[in-house]
Amino acid sequence: MELKKKVAVITGAANGLGKAAVKRFLEAGASVSMWDVQQEAGEALLKELSAYGEKIDFQTVNVARREEVENAAEAVRSGMGSIDILINNAGITRDASFLKMEESQFDQVIDVNLKGVFNCGQAVARIMKEQASGVIINTSSVVALYGNFGQSNYVASKAAVIGMTKVWARELGKYGIRVNAVAPGFMLTDMVAKMPEKIIELMSGKSLLGRLGAPEDIADAYLFLASDRARYITAATLSVDGGLIS
């Protein structure tokens, strides 16, 4: 198994891409600490995966709150022995056109999608530095590369994540820590599946493969970058978008 004896922290783990990643990483032999602000959904997933026993736990964490992140990171190190992998997957949207976007909408997205990545990355990287090894994977988005109507806040946060990924890779490589980003395209999550059929068809038409991706497609990208098969890959942004047509 590719991640046997590895410990992974996955943020935004209770639903969507994070939930798929949790299952993939457990299947690959890793122990997983699930972090999410949605306590009820997180505890439900923990119950669903109870067969994995002590190889999985759940912590209610708001990644925008630094103290919660630092406490959770220390709890993982104490309880599971190390943190070998961090998947910075948590993210939110608060969409509005540029001229109508409220300051609170902008701030909320930046706090979670950018500051949250910084908080988790810094807390975990300090542990990884002591271990002289680790992998950090930050979730960006294809909209960071192409832009998207009504998402000034989201696009700004996801573009900044790509830039921050490159900085961390430069600074942390000497400690044996690899840092990469994944840029998902339009994915068929539970939330997207509830959208009108015409919208889903429009989104599917933007892919050269003519369909939306599955959450498992992103989970597999996380798994590859976290594994030793990607041991010479750092500072990269992997687009998983079915060949998106901008």
> Is 154 one of the annotated active-site residues of the chain?
yes
Q: Of residues 146, 154, 175, 232, which has the active-site annotation?
A: 154
Rounded Cα distance, 147 and 144, in Å: 6
The amino acid that residue 73 corresponds to is A
DSSP reduced 3-state for 49: coil
- Residues in contact with 179: Cβ distance below 8 Å, sequence separation at least 6, in sequence order: 135, 136, 137, 138, 165, 168, 169, 172, 234, 235
Kindly list the distances between the CA atom of residue 25 and the CA atoms of 1, 77, 116, in Å, as whole numbers in the listed order: 10, 18, 22
Residue 7 tokens, joined: 């410990």
Active-site annotation, residues: 154
